[in-house]
Amino acid sequence: MDTPVEQLVKSMEELSSMFSQRMGEFEKNLIPASASASTNPTIKSLSAEFYAFKSLVWKSLGLLKAQIELIAMGLDRMETHSRRKVLLFHGVKEEQGEDVLKKTLGVLTGHLKLSDATPELIDSCHRLGVKRDASRPILVRFASVRFRSRVWNAKTALRGSKITLSEFLTKARQSIFIEARKHFGMKKCWSAEGEIIILLPDNSRKKISALSELKQLVAQYPKGNK
């Protein structure tokens, strides 16, 4: 389900499309009339008023879009901040009547070698999404950012196992992350502290959190070009 901001963005896009279509139709009828009645002051005045109105509408829509984007970015930053203690555990086998907390602690102490991990260090944990054939990821909210960082930094110990860790990105940032990987490659993109990091073709690293930033990089480094 779309968020209120996403619904507002879609409404703005529909409104822009409607204005573009209606103005295009009106302009088609206006151009022949203006050409055949170049000496008619009424037609001249109507033509001038139409183009002034058209310019005003597009300028207003542009300002509204910019404001919506700022609001969306602000809400995304707030949501990202609220997820700073959260990690997703993938590949942990799901069983009927399981104790998710016990399984999570097993990964922390067994796979990640964090022997001091206790239930008190976990605020909550549960399977994410609707139950299906494959094992669902476990969403873990830790009691502190510090311990969450320790878990994240220890994830290299999972190499060779079926278990992986990922950050719980917002819907907007997850979409950006997917598109970045499609363009720059799976191994060239990762996330850290809620931001997407891209290893660019010139071996520099760029942190992004907005679609506009990704579009700039895609334009700067077209796919297939070194």
Q: Are 143 and 85 contacting, i.e. CB atoms less than 8 angstroms apart?
A: yes
Verify that 91 and 57 share a domain, yes or no: no
> Pairing between strand 164-167 and 195-199?
unpaired
Q: Provide the number of structural domains found in the chain.
A: 3
> Pairing between strand 205-208 and 195-199?
antiparallel
Residue 188: domain span: 171-220
Verify that 152 and 216 share a domain, yes or no: no
Amino acid at 192: A
Residue 225 lies in a domain: no
Residues of the chain with pLDDT under 50: none
Order of strands, sheet of 195-199, starting from the edge strand that comes earlier in the sequence: 189-192, 195-199, 205-208
What is the spatial distance between Cα 158 and Cα 150, in angstroms, rounded to a whole number? Answer: 14
Verify that 161 and 92 share a domain, yes or no: yes
Verify that 91 and 161 share a domain, yes or no: yes
Verify that 156 and 176 share a domain, yes or no: no
The CATH number of residue 145's host domain is 3.30.70.1820
Strand-pairing partners, residue 138, are 89, 127
Show which of 82, 110, 131 is a domain's final residue.
82
Verify that 135 and 159 share a domain, yes or no: yes
Verify that 97 and 152 share a domain, yes or no: yes
Verify that 43 and 55 share a domain, yes or no: yes
Residue 154 buriedness (CB in 10 A; 0-12 / 13-18 / 19+):
middle
Residue 226 lies in a domain: no
Verify that 62 and 96 share a domain, yes or no: no
Tokens encoding 201: 């073709």
Residue 90 lies in a domain: yes
pLDDT at 86: 97
pLDDT at 27: 78
Verify that 162 and 91 share a domain, yes or no: yes
Show which of 82, 101, 126 is a domain's final residue.
82
Q: Are 170 and 79 contacting, i.e. CB atoms less than 8 angstroms apart?
A: yes
Residue 186 lies in a domain: yes
Using a cut of 0.85, tell me whether the model's pTM lies above it.
no
Phi, psi of 212 (to 5 degrees): -60, -35
Verify that 183 and 151 share a domain, yes or no: no
Verify that 91 and 135 share a domain, yes or no: yes
Please give the angle made by the CA atoms of 9, 84 and 170, to the nearest 5 degrees: 25
pLDDT at 38: 55
Show which of 82, 117, 150 is a domain's final residue.
82
Residue 107 lies in a domain: yes
pLDDT at 41: 67
Residue 196 lies in a domain: yes
